[in-house]
Amino acid sequence: MINANIGNWTAWPVCPKCEARRETQCSVCSARGTDFRLADFDEAEDSAEAAEEMDVLLLCSTCDEPFTPRFFRLCAGCGFDHGTGIEKEAELEREELNNRVILVIVSVVLILVGLLAFFGFVLRG
């Protein structure tokens, strides 16, 4: 299962429909991908048997933190539903502008126009 020579996990789950590697997400920084390397373990303290019994730990290439992989429910390539896994987060809804936000924007624009007129008047003379 674990190829100690190159640090890649050879038993990475794949989609049965398109054969693409299942996408996972780092639990620390939320980076997503299919090419995370195995996290190193101290071979002096752990035997090979103990390493096989441990949960797989992947090393995030973004934050360099080890994490236990949790795979997405839907295949990123073909949309196949694996039945279990991480649900993609719903798209964030855009918040409508309220009166307070519009007031701040108009105030900032008026202040900038006033400053521009003031400096234009002062520097013209």
83-118 pLDDT per residue, tens: 777 777 655 577 788 899 999 999 999 999 999 999
Angle (CA) 43 49 55, round 5°: 85
Rounded distance between C-alpha atoms, residue 38 and residue 42, angstroms: 13
Entry pTM: 0.53
Instruction: Find the radius of gyration of the CA atoms of the chain.
Output: 26
Rounded distance between C-alpha atoms, residue 93 and residue 107, angstroms: 27
Q: Is the pLDDT of residue 47 over 70?
A: no
Rounded distance between C-alpha atoms, residue 87 and residue 76, angstroms: 12
Q: Give the helix/strand (H/E) hosting 2.
A: strand 2-3
Averaged over 54-69, what is the pLDDT? 83
Q: What percent of the chain has pLDDT over 70?
A: 77
Residues 6 or more apart in contact with residue 42 via CB below 8 angstroms:
none
